[in-house]
Structure 1
């Protein structure tokens, strides 16, 4: 039967219906309304409209920012802050009149790509989101690894590994720590680092294009970025040793990453024959909603 996925983004909420073969049958979007009760109504209405298009769904899954505290069932760490401290799962279940499953949006990316994306057929897949923020998700043998505390794959809030003297203690992170990966290897981190060194505050896309055009400051910022990202991926290799890293988010479109990360990782991983794939998400921005639809299959 049809499975519905919901991608709960900061500015828009998207619903998609997938056939058993993984084909899109329907896709609908609505603005994120910015308040809790209105968000519940928006999701309910998107599901109803989707089922009006394609018929009854076997299941509904949501990819959400942040995570669920397994001890309390309450949302935490969501950038749509009105979700935090609320029992989003229970309230959606009541509104929809059926059980729903929720998972972190990076976990949904990982699941989507492990099922039929860039990591299909891999035993261990680690997905990385490098956009405005920085997140991660882990799939082993086709199943999400969310952990005892629901924070499996929260790669963005570990410290930058093998830091140089000028990288310590690192920028303050919104989580309350300093030097988290999110402050270094997100698009925001690339912009901050370039501005701090050059005095020229420019978005990530400008920095990449300027680096390609020979701008010395931009090229140096990209070099630092790749080195930091590679060091961070080496730590993941040392811990879970993925067959495949899948990159999503805006910076996953930077072609230079896929070749230049490899020697950095090899120089830092505890292995003399390191081999793993590094690939952009096959489904791009659609991976989140596809992974959400597949939460009942994992």
Structure 2
């Protein structure tokens, strides 16, 4: 048995996992964002509630482990930001600890229990508050040692001319410090920014998508340009990785017509031709962070026992 945690800025979700299909959540706790000792105390309380000593503890975090320094980049939780989190937690809990980015865990969840079952190469994409992703090949998370693999939302690759007919677009500034990333124009807030630039209207992404599905012309123009901007970089990711399925999570994935339109556009831009959907809605929508953490932890335990 392993214990899984999904760590967010508001809540800590915990679960015990005996298999990928047997993940049992416990009630969530509030995240102590400023006090590391209180943070550890919450983790210990979850482990105590589960009542058994786990083989390891696995964390899905809304952040990154810097592969060069092993330090955590998680600015929304100051109590863990900048720490050697794996070493600190192993010392505090007295158990082996694994840590992975939440988008990576979502990709693992899709590989183990979702749309990625049966596929060797799975690229899990996130379209929501941000644009992110994770890559799993032969059941192994490419980012298992930490780092930035799968972060396709952060590179200066956003088109400056897109749509039919073509329209000129600015290079929007990104929170990562670069200009021209996908994140500030293809996330949910990015869609809103794009629509404001094109139509001069302030609307939520949900309302833009509703208007698009209702045939409203300005929303249709925004979504046409959005799909054009997003599909090219995603096609490049697929060509480079050889992914044969791209499950999409995040809030925007709840709009099925948007994912269908993205799939059609992407399949028209890749080298390998698929007669079936390639870009699909993620299937593991209930606590994918915990399920992905379970996949990672159970594989670690199996390999440890084998050696």
1:273 aligns with 2:273: yes
Question: Is 1:241 paired with 2:238?
Answer: no
Q: Secondary structure at the match of 1:284?
A: coil
1:166 aligns with 168
Note the 1:143-182 alignment, pairs <5 A. Answer: 143-146=140-143, 150-164=147-161, 166-168=168-170, 170-182=171-183
- How much has 1:243 moved relative to structure 2? 0.8
| Contact residue 136 and residue 154 of structure 1 kept, 8 A | yes
* Number of the residue aligned with 2:46: 46
Aligned to 2:164: none
State the aligned residue count. 292
CA drift of 1:81 comes to 4.8
Relative to structure 1, is the Cα distance of residues 166 and 33 closer, same or farther in structure 2, using a 3 angstrom cutoff?
A: farther
What is the alpha-carbon root mean square deviation over aligned residues? Answer: 2.2
Distance 1:232 1:177 in 2: 16
* Deviation of 1:222 (Å): 1.9
State the Cα distance separating 1:274 from its structure 2 match.
4.6
Q: Which sections of structure 1, spanning at least 5 residues, go unmatched?
A: none
1:192-246 CA-to-partner distances (Å, cap 9, x unmatched) read: 1112222222221121112222322222222222222211211101211201001
Normalised to the residue count of structure 2, the TM-score between the two structures is: 0.87
Give the superposition deviation at 1:82.
4.7
Structure 2 CA distance for partners of 1:150 and 1:180, relative to 1, 3 Å: same
Distance 2:125 2:75 in 1: 17
- TM-score normalised according to structure 1 size: 0.90
Q: Identify unmatched segments of 5+ residues in structure 2.
A: 162-166, 301-307
Residue 229 of structure 1 is matched in structure 2 by: 230
Q: What are the Cα deviations for residues 232-267 of structure 1, in whole angstroms up to 9, with x where unaligned?
A: 211101211201001011011111133212332234
Partner of 2:137: 140
Q: Give the counterpart of 1:67 among 64, 67, 82.
A: 64
- 1:99 Cα deviation (Å)? 1.4
User: What is the rounded CA distance, in whole Å, between the counterparts of 2:209 and 2:259 in structure 1?
Assistant: 14
The SS at the match of 2:56 is strand
